[in-house]
């Protein structure tokens, strides 16, 4: 649906220029939730802003439904941008306007609905994000989560096929973050809305994304299905982000525990099979659990356990081999 | 009453005072109107052409900025005199209320434009970005986002400008503009009628107070942050 071909972006500085995004190829599929993760300054916002042409690429191409759109100007550019809703870390609501006025704004800008239809659409949006009661408040009277709901309603007012989220949950507490992510996930299912979201938290990727790209220093260093990147990260940056989701592991590894230490990862149906106990029993190996996490990758259950295996060397080796044969991911630590 | 006035305000002519007050209000109103009319677009232009803004034109901004600075650094009394030929062409007279308005506008417009520029700078950049993402064009960004968001700042700017204009109208009296300042200088200063001086000063003070508290109230009313 959206495709970047060797697109890059240079910013002019007072002295010389800086390449915020190295030549990048990227393809966003219709209906998916695509995550972009990276540390601050990695070029995530730059990449996102190329997609709705808030920034023109310095070179390379952007294709929308197979059509080149890089050179759009004036009202064609405005029209193109209206295909995208966008939400932001700091919400960027108009503080001088009431909630309903903020939501009505894109409708007024597009100017294709009469006042009555506009009001009906605003009421529908308010109801969908659960803010009917707050319609006549000003943004400063709302909590962070409510503000982001207004942001989402505003972004979706003109029924865009794509929603771009720039750190949309970074200013929210964990519980509110989950609520907002759930809302995004529901909208994705209900409307077939394609979502591209930026974050620096692996947990956000884990909860909602189908695919993810890891960015570092203006490059996409790794991309793929979330389970693939999550369970088998290849690039050091990705490994760093995955480790972020397992904070206890590092502590556990600092303890002096005897035995072979491994990390066991499993996904989907495997999570429910008693593989670990069967295999350790059969190979006469004892294990202790040092750290672990049982959770969901969007719709799939998954688990990651850090274990110390104790027993005769050959038994331990056999155990590891059988675990991998059973399809579990085994990493020696 | 009569005796009280003779005792305390022996030189005061109520008719003169009323006329002078009216002149001051007319000068203020007229010059404020044109200052807003010219200064608001100029301020918006200054803001938009400044570096890193929507219409970033460093060269144009440099020129505008220089003109504004020159006009602002010129003492108003000099501006009054320098402007006389232009004022004559614009209004046919350099005297009275009509003669005072062009120099007042020339003095206050750059001042107000600079304040407008600063008020617009206070608007969160993220809001402009959100408007662009919604596909808004430049006019829509200005009318629907920049001006409403900056409204409290703009009202404060207008208030400061109006008060500056009051002190300018007092000076305009010197070149025959009339008004309370003129009354204070002609009677109060040149003829040592200190009662006239005191009354005019009190009236000017009341006017300033009134404008300031009105401005403050409006700012408060429109602040939603
Ligand atoms: N408008 C700009 N002008 C100059 N440099 C910029 C601009 N926007 C971003 N950059 C630079 O580009 C790099 C990437 O920025 P950004 O895409 O915002 O990163 P991220 O969103 O991943 O934190 C940073 O080094 C940043 O300083
Ligand atoms: Mg960013």
Q: Which residue of B has its CA nearest to A156?
A: B134
Contacts of A295 (CB under 8 A, 6+ apart): A206, A301, A302, A303
The minimal CB distance from B151 to the residues A88, A96, A154 is found for: A96
Give me the phi and psi of A120, to 5 degrees please. Answer: -60, -45
Residue B2: the pLDDT is 64
pLDDT in tens, B68-102: 999 999 999 899 889 989 999 998 888 888 889 99
Q: Tell me the chain B residues in contact with residue A79 when contact means C-beta distances shorter than 8 Å.
A: 135
The number of C-alpha atoms within 13 Å of A170 and in the hemisphere containing its C-beta is: 18
**How many Cβ atoms sit within 10 Å of the Cβ of residue B139?**
8
Q: Are A290 and A243 in contact (CB under 8 A)?
A: no
Asked if residue B157 is part of any domain, the answer here is yes
Q: Are B163 and B208 in contact (CB under 8 A)?
A: yes
- Segment A131-160 shows an average pLDDT of 97
C-alpha dihedral over A198, A106, B152, B121, to 10 degrees?
50
pLDDT in tens, B39-57: 999 999 999 999 999 999 9
pLDDT level of residue A64 (50, 70, 90 thresholds): very high
Residue B130: the pLDDT is 97
Asked if residue B2 is part of any domain, the answer here is no
Residue B1: the pLDDT is 56
C-alpha dihedral over B60, B62, B63, B68, to 10 degrees?
120
Task: Tell whether B51 lies on the interface with A, counting CB pairs under 8 A.
Answer: no
Ligand 1 pocket test, candidate residues A10, A22, A39, A41, most atoms within 8 A of CB = A41
Q: From the CB of A20, is ligand 1 less than 6 Å away?
A: yes
Q: Tell me the chain B residues in contact with residue A164 when contact means C-beta distances shorter than 8 Å.
A: 133
Does the structure show a pLDDT above 70 at A263? yes
Report the nearest atom of ligand 1 relative to the CA of B52.
1
Buried b / exposed e over A198-230, threshold 16 CB at 10 Å, is bbbbbbbbbbbbbbbbbbbebbbbbbbebbebb
Q: Are A84 and A163 in contact (CB under 8 A)?
A: yes
Percent of chain A with pLDDT over 70: 100
ipTM comes to 0.88
Residue A167: the pLDDT is 96
Task: Tell whether A159 lies on the interface with B, counting CB pairs under 8 A.
Answer: no
pLDDT level of residue A73 (50, 70, 90 thresholds): very high
Distance CA A287, CA A44 (A): 42
Q: How, if at all, do strands A162-166 and A84-88 pair?
A: parallel
Chain B nearest CA to A51, separation (Å):
11
Q: How far is CA B32 from CA A93, B109, B110, in A?
A: 32, 9, 13
Distance CA B224, CA B163 (A): 25
Q: Could you tell me the mean pLDDT of each successive run of 10 residues in chain B, 225 residues long?
A: 73 85 94 98 98 94 96 90 90 87 95 98 96 95 97 98 93 78 80 84 93 96 87
Tell me which residue has its CA closest to atom 14 in ligand 1: A43
Contacts of A13 (CB under 8 A, 6+ apart): none
More confident residue, B118 or A305: B118
Q: Are A330 and A321 in contact (CB under 8 A)?
A: no
**Number of separate domains in chain B:** 1
Distance CA A55, CA A35 (A): 20
Distance CA A187, CA A181 (A): 10
Does the structure show a pLDDT above 90 at A237? yes
The number of C-alpha atoms within 13 Å of B198 and in the hemisphere containing its C-beta is: 8
Asked if residue B119 is part of any domain, the answer here is yes
Range of the domain at B22: 11-222
Task: Tell whether B202 lies on the interface with A, counting CB pairs under 8 A.
Answer: no
Asked if residue B4 is part of any domain, the answer here is no
The minimal CB distance from B124 to the residues A80, A92, A138 is found for: A92
Residue A23: the pLDDT is 97
Mean pLDDT of chain A: 92
Ligand 1 pocket test, candidate residues A13, A42, A46, A168, most atoms within 8 A of CB = A46
Q: Are A139 and A150 in contact (CB under 8 A)?
A: yes
Q: Tell me the chain B residues in contact with residue A110 when contact means C-beta distances shorter than 8 Å.
A: 135
Distance CA B82, CA B89 (A): 13
pLDDT level of residue A300 (50, 70, 90 thresholds): confident
C-alpha dihedral over B191, B193, B197, B200, to 10 degrees?
-100
Q: Which helix (H) or strand (E) holds A59?
A: strand A59-64
Asked if residue B81 is part of any domain, the answer here is yes
Asked if residue B118 is part of any domain, the answer here is yes
Task: Tell whether A67 lies on the interface with B, counting CB pairs under 8 A.
Answer: no
Distance CA B80, CA B100 (A): 8
Distance CA A102, CA A285 (A): 63
The minimal CB distance from B140 to the residues A77, A80, A109 is found for: A109
Residue A295: the pLDDT is 83
Enter the tokens of residue B40. 């608001």
Chain A nearest CA to B213, separation (Å):
22
Asked if residue B5 is part of any domain, the answer here is no
Distance CA B89, CA B74 (A): 21
Distance CA A309, CA A287 (A): 5
- Beta bridge partners, A38, equal A215
Asked if residue B3 is part of any domain, the answer here is no
pLDDT level of residue A15 (50, 70, 90 thresholds): confident
pLDDT level of residue A112 (50, 70, 90 thresholds): confident
Distance CA A281, CA B117 (A): 76
Task: Tell whether A81 lies on the interface with B, counting CB pairs under 8 A.
Answer: yes
Task: Tell whether A247 lies on the interface with B, counting CB pairs under 8 A.
Answer: no
- Beta bridge partners, A261, equal A308
Mean pLDDT check: name the lowest of A79-93, A134-148, A228-242: A228-242
Does the structure show a pLDDT above 70 at A281? yes
**How far is ligand 2, taken at its centre, from the CA of residue A40, in Å?**
6
Task: Tell whether B143 lies on the interface with A, counting CB pairs under 8 A.
Answer: no
Chain A nearest CA to B28, separation (Å):
29
Q: How far is CA B33 from CA B27, B175, B181, in A?
A: 10, 21, 20
Ligand 1 pocket test, candidate residues A13, A18, A20, most atoms within 8 A of CB = A20
The minimal CB distance from A95 to the residues B132, B144, B225 is found for: B225
Q: From the CB of A38, is ligand 1 less than 6 Å away?
A: yes
pTM as predicted: 0.90
pLDDT in tens, A170-183: 999 999 999 999 99
Maximum distance among all alpha carbons in chain B? Answer: 73
Distance CA A233, CA B129 (A): 34
Window 92-131 of B, Cβ < 8 Å to A = 124, 126-127, 129-130
**How many Cβ atoms sit within 10 Å of the Cβ of residue B209?**
11
Domain at B171, CATH number: 1.10.3720.10
Q: Are A2 and A28 in contact (CB under 8 A)?
A: yes
Test A140 with B137 for CB contact under 8 angstroms: no
Chain B nearest CA to A165, separation (Å):
12
């Amino acid at each position: 649906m959206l495709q970047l071909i060797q697109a890059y972006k240079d910013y002019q500085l007072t002295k010389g220029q800086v390449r915020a995004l190295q030549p990048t190829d990227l393809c966003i599929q219709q209906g998916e939730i695509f995550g972009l993760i990276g540390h601050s300054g990695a070029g995530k916002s730059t990449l996102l802003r190329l997609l709705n042409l808030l920034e023109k690429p310095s070179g390379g191409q952007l294709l929308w439904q197979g059509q080149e759109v890089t050179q759009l100007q004036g009202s064609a550019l405005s029209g193109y941008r209206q295909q995208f809703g966008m939400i932001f870390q700091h919400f960027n609501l108009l503080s001088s306007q009431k909630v309903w006025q903020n939501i009505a704004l894109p409708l007024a800008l597009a100017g294709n609905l009469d006042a009555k239809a506009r009001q009906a659409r605003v009421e529908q949006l308010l109801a969908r994000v659960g803010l009917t009661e707050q319609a006549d408040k000003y943004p400063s009277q709302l909590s962070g989560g409510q503000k982001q709901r207004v942001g989402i309603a505003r972004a979706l007012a003109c029924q865009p096929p794509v929603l771009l989220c720039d750190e949309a949950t970074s200013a929210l507490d964990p519980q509110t973050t989950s609520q907002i992510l759930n809302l995004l996930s529901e909208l994705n299912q209900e409307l077939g809305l394609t979502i591209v979201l930026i974050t620096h938290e692996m947990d956000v990727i884990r909860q909602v994304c189908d695919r993810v790209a890891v960015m570092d220093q203006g490059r996409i260093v790794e991309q793929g299905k979330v389970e693939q990147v999550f369970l088998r990260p290849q690039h050091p940056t990705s490994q760093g982000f995955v480790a972020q989701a397992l904070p206890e592991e590092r502590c556990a590894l600092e303890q002096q525990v005897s035995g072979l230490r491994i990390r066991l990862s499993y996904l989907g149906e495997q999570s429910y099979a008693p593989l670990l106990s069967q295999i350790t029993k059969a190979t006469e190996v004892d294990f202790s659990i040092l750290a672990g996490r049982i959770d969901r990758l969007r719709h799939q259950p998954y688990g990651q356990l850090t274990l110390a295996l104790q027993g005769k060397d050959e038994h331990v080796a056999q155990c590891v081999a059988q675990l991998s044969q059973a399809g579990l991911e085994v990493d020696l630590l | 009453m009569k005796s009280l006035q003779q005792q305390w305000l022996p030189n005061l002519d109520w008719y003169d005072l009323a006329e002078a007050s009216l002149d001051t209000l007319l000068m203020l109103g007229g010059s404020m109107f044109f200052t807003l009319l010219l200064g608001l677009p100029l301020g918006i232009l200054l803001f938009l052409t400044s570096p890193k803004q929507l219409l970033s034109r460093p060269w144009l901004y440099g020129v505008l900025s220089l003109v504004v600075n020159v006009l602002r650094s010129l003492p108003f009394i000099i501006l009054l005199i320098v402007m006389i030929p232009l004022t004559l062409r614009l209004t046919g007279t350099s005297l009275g209320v009509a003669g005072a308005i062009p120099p007042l506008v020339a003095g206050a417009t750059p001042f107000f434009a600079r304040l407008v520029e600063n008020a617009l700078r206070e608007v969160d950049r993220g809001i402009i970005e959100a408007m662009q993402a919604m596909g808004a064009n430049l006019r829509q960004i200005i009318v629907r986002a920049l001006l409403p968001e900056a409204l409290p700042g703009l009202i404060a700017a207008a208030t400061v400008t109006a008060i500056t204009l009051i002190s300018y109208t007092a000076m305009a009296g010197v070149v025959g503009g009339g008004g309370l300042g003129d009354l204070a200088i002609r009677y109060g200063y040149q003829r040592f009628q200190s009662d006239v001086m005191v009354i005019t000063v009190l009236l000017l003070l009341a006017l300033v107070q009134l404008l300031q508290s009105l401005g403050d109230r409006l700012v408060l009313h429109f602040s939603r942050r």
